[in-house]
Every structure is written in structure tokens, then in C-alpha cells.
Homo-oligomer: A and B are copies of this chain.
């Protein structure tokens, strides 16, 4: 085990696993030891990530499997569909992969979500490993076992809770990330402050310049602390019966932006960044946070390079898309709101108030 690698444990009984966080882990033999034995592996990746890291991951896996198959999908949220999922199944079945085959998700959140769901469904479940190459995937989507594809009517509507065997976060991959993707990932990092740890929010504010400059130490701490908070939440509520929903801070408004514009126009993290501004405003209107907190959070999100005003789709479009959000119950939209800073709750809010927030936060 590499001593410079950090480890965060997700504690879920027999489904527990480790997140390894360190620079150069894709090439580090110790990162790939001790996985379930199998004749074959399948790396699922996308056409952007493959030229950068596929050969290196193949080399690291070669000693462990008789054959390492590859399925490379087009890049982007708009490909998080049944068609892409079926491409993975076609490779698995075409290559006669058995139910011990290990899947590796090499890429960002889309690749992780779709590969995890493929692993959950193929022959009713095969093991898989997350190898997230974006900041967003390293701090959020690769951890905790949420897998899914999108449906035209709603994001992540078809999926499974299905835990990976391991998450391997190679911090080196963040150095090649496009600036827009880095900012999108910072939205999910920032999220952990208001919902769980205001000291972490202080730290993020103090180190935003370092994070944007991709300082390795700053990125290492941001990923580790984010994973620790996520592990703490997921360990209490794997299937989102309660507290886990707080991880969706900013996501209800964010999903409406993504669905309203069409998936893939804004990055998920961009929509979440703007959605957190809207959710903070809603928290303020309900009297749970003050204007200074909203201003502070908005300034930090803007500094991270994220949009803080939403697309002017009209309040009705926002409300329409939020009503099919998974947190909605019996037609009522439920929001993750801040009460007080450092703590989140899931509550309903009057449609008229939500509409006011949307109008106030959108660019005409």
C-alpha cells in the first residue's frame, strides 16, 4: 500500500468498501490488488477519457484477468441512456462474459452511473469498481452506490442502489480536466459545507484559488474531506430513506434546469451550483438563513466559475420538472434547505414562494 494514499471507508456491513485517494493510482499496482477473482474484466469509458487513461488502466489490470474487454461510449450526459446501457450488455454478452466478470468505470459521473447500473443488472449483478476521473465523480457520484440512467421525462429515474467493490481516485486525472469540468466538480465540494460542515466551507473559501490552480495538496484535501462527509451520511442511510437526501442540496432546482434546457446543455455541477443559490434563497425566504449567508454562498459559487443565475425558463417549467423529482411525494415537491448553516433539512415549500425564488434568480 502506497503510504501517500489516503483511504476513506464506506461502512455498510457486508457491502462496505474503501475509497483510495492519491496521485498516480491508475499506475499503482497496490490499487488493483485483492479484487474479486474473474477470468474477464470490462472497462467502460468514454471517447474523451480513453485516449488519456485507458491504456494505463489496461496495463494495470492485465496481470489480474485473462482478458480485459473495453466498451467506449460517446462523452456526455445526453448519452446516459438505455442505448448506451445496451451497448455495454451487447459487449458483455457478445464476449460471453460470465457473472464473475468485473466491470471498471473509467470516467466521470455519467460513466460511473451507467456502468454501475449495468453491473447491477447484468446477470442480476456482477462486481464493479469505480475509477472516477473527474472532480465531480471523485467527491460525489462514484461514492455511495447510486447508479442510474436518464429517462426523457426525468434524470436518474431508472437505476439501482448498488455498491462498488472499491473506488480508486487518481488525483492526477484532475490535472487534465477541462476548466468547466473542474468548476462543475467544485459545486459538489462546496455543497458539503452548508449541509454538514461550516469549517469545511471556511477552508474552501480560503483555498478556492489553490483549487482553481489545481494545487495537488488542496485537491487531495478537498476530495478526502468530501468523501468523509459523504461516507458519514451514506453509512447512516444507504437507500435514502432519510438523511441521505441532504446530499441533494441544490439538486431539485438543478434537475429542473437540466431537464428544462435538455440534458447536457449545462453540466450537472453547473446546474447544482446555480440550484444551491436558489435553494439558499428559498431557505432565506423561509427565515432559516440570513441574507449574509446567501450572499457568501453565492459569491463562493461564482468564484468557483459556476453560474449563479438560472436560465429564464419560467417558474411553471421549473415547477413542472421538480414535480417529477424522485424526492417528490404524492405530487408535493420536497426541497433540501439549509436550517441553520451547516445543517440541512428536507421540506416542502409553497409553490408561490418557489416561483418567486425562480423569478428572482433567473436571467431574463
Residues in A lying within 8 Å of B, measured CB to CB: 39-40, 66, 82, 86, 89-90, 93-94, 96, 98-100, 120-125, 146-148, 151, 153-154, 156-161, 239-240, 323-324, 326, 328-331
CB-CB under 8 A from A98, the residues of chain B are 326, 328-331
Cα(A323)–Cα(B93), bound, Å: 10
Q: Answer whether A160 and B125 are a contact pair too, CB < 8 Å, given A151-B93, A324-B96.
A: yes
Apart from A93-B154, A93-B157, what are 13 other A-B pairs with CB-CB below 8 Å?
A39-B331, A82-B86, A93-B151, A96-B328, A96-B331, A98-B326, A98-B329, A98-B331, A99-B329, A100-B329, A123-B159, A124-B156, A125-B239
CB-CB under 8 A from A157, the residues of chain B are 89, 93, 122-123
Give the residue name and chain of the B residue nearest to A40 (CB).
Answer: B330
How far apart are A223's CB and chain B's nearest CB, in angstroms? 25
Give the residue name and chain of the B residue nearest to A158 (CB).
Answer: B121
Give the residue name and chain of the B residue nearest to A117 (CB).
Answer: B121
Instruction: Point out the residue from B124, B153, B159, B328 that lies within 8 Å of A148, measured CB to CB.
Output: B124
Q: Answer whether A124 and B159 are a contact pair too, CB < 8 Å, given A96-B324, A99-B326, A324-B96.
A: yes
Cα(A86)–Cα(B83), bound, Å: 12
- Are A160 and B158 within 8 A (Cβ)? no
How far apart are A83's CB and chain B's nearest CB, in angstroms? 10
CB-CB under 8 A from A120, the residues of chain B are 160
- Chain A: interface secondary structure? mixed
CB-CB under 8 A from A239, the residues of chain B are 124-125
- Are A124 and B39 within 8 A (Cβ)? no
Cα(A148)–Cα(B239), bound, Å: 21
- Are B153 and A94 within 8 A (Cβ)? yes
- Are A160 and B124 within 8 A (Cβ)? yes
**A40, A151, A161: residue with the most chain B Cβ atoms closer than 10 Å:** A151
- Are B330 and A89 within 8 A (Cβ)? no
Cα(A153)–Cα(B94), bound, Å: 8
CB-CB under 8 A from A86, the residues of chain B are 82
How far apart are A116's CB and chain B's nearest CB, in angstroms? 11
CB-CB under 8 A from A94, the residues of chain B are 153
Instruction: Point out the residue from B40, B153, B161 that lies within 8 Å of A124, measured CB to CB.
Output: B161
- Are B121 and A160 within 8 A (Cβ)? yes
Q: Which 4 A-B pairs have the closest CB atoms?
A: A39-B330, A93-B153, A123-B326, A124-B159
- Are B82 and A324 within 8 A (Cβ)? no
CB-CB under 8 A from A328, the residues of chain B are 96, 98
How far apart are A316's CB and chain B's nearest CB, in angstroms? 15
Give the residue name and chain of the B residue nearest to A154 (CB).
Answer: B93
- Are B146 and A124 within 8 A (Cβ)? yes
Report 5 cross-chain contacts, Cβ distance below 8 Å, ordered by A residue. Answer: A40-B330, A66-B330, A98-B331, A120-B160, A124-B156
CB-CB under 8 A from A82, the residues of chain B are 82, 86
- Are B121 and A159 within 8 A (Cβ)? yes
CB-CB under 8 A from A146, the residues of chain B are 124
